[in-house]
Each structure stands twice: as structure tokens, then as C-alpha cells.
Amino acid sequence: MNLKEKRKKLRELYDQYEKEVAEFKKASACEIGCADCCIDVGNIDITTLEGIIIHEQMNSFGEQLSAEIKNRLAKNKAEREEKKLSRCAFLNEDKLCIIYDIRPFSCRQLYSVKRCDGASPTIHLQAVETGKQIRKKIQQLDLSGYSGHTSYILYLLDKESFRKRYLSGKSDPKRIIDFGRSHGILINRYLNK
């Protein structure tokens, strides 16, 4: 499957999840402007497939915004390395997601039936299970890639050599072994055995 086909399939998986949890999400207490899960949870993981789509969009934002986001991602990465919670690099001053249409699955999975107010979201168990199955399918779709915290995956994808290798379909975990180990990067093909 080429990248275009994978992107299409990824979108189908996102849609499948939304369809399957639609009834549960009707009870959601989430509203525009509440971005607790983009600020306090600080645990938004992505696959490299999702990362390449986000990276492409970042570079289409224009020089200034693109540089600003890279700075925020570097801050996220440093905070994450210090085990601190961090505000997502894609959340703007109005607490709106600037990549909402292409936000990763981790974000799509998050909703809460009661206001979080700093606590973890309260999600239906069935929706969590559906989320796990869809996540696995996304990782299977991205078998030559990796999974990890957004700032770490985007850090790797911003390196031309890593990006080119990934886009050529060649997986070479040895090249990122030290960074991968110290930053909890998972190898998708090993997650699906």
C-alpha cells in the first residue's frame, strides 16, 4: 500500500471509530474552548503515519508559524523528558486545535462524560476497547513505522534522513536505537505479533 492509500485507510479508521462510539459520545461533556486534555493530560502519542501528515501540514503554515510550532515542540520534548505535563504545541491562544481536521487518533479517542477539571477524562469502557482495536489497526497500517509521544515522533520526522527512510518504506530501528529506547518509541511491527 502506498502512502496515499495508507492516508485514505487511516481516515476510514478514524471514521469507523467515530461511527462505533457515536452513541457514547452523545453523553460527552466536552465543549469548544475546553482543552483540558490538550493541556493537562500531556500524553498524546502518534504513529509515524499520523506524524508525516502533521509534519506536512506544519510546513504549509508559513515560515513564522511553522518556526513557532517547532519551538513549542522542542519545549514539549524537553518537558516530556523531565516527566512534566505540557501544553500541546498545536493548541492556539483561543484553546483551539490548529490541526483539528488531521488531529491524531489519541486526540479523537478523548472525550469525557463529565468535566475533567484537571482529572483524567471519564470514558465509556466500550469506547476504550473500540479505541484499542482501532489503534492496533492504525499501527498495523504503519508497519514500517513507530509510535510514541507527538514531540518525539515529530522530532524524528523533522530529520530529513529519518523522514526519507520512513517514506521509502524502510524501517531501520537500529538507527534510532538510543533515542528510541530512552524516549519509549515503539516499533509498530513488533506491537502486532
Query: Where does this chain bind ligand SF4 (CB under 6 A)?
Result: 38, 44, 88, 90-91, 97, 99, 103, 107
Minimum distance, C-beta of residue 142 to ligand SF4, in the bound complex (Å): 18
Separation of alpha carbons 183 and 193, rounded Å:
22
Whichever of 51 and 145 has its CB closer to ligand SF4, that residue is 51
Is residue 148 within 8 Å of 191, Cβ to Cβ?
A: no
At 146 the three-state DSSP class reads: strand
Is residue 153 within 8 Å of 51, Cβ to Cβ?
A: yes
Minimum distance, C-beta of residue 92 to ligand SF4, in the bound complex (Å): 8
Is residue 95 within 8 Å of 82, Cβ to Cβ?
A: no
Whichever of 49 and 187 has its CB closer to ligand SF4, that residue is 49
Whichever of 107 and 153 has its CB closer to ligand SF4, that residue is 107
Whichever of 38 and 53 has its CB closer to ligand SF4, that residue is 38
Minimum distance, C-beta of residue 177 to ligand SF4, in the bound complex (Å): 28
Separation of alpha carbons 16 and 28, rounded Å:
18
Minimum distance, C-beta of residue 169 to ligand SF4, in the bound complex (Å): 26
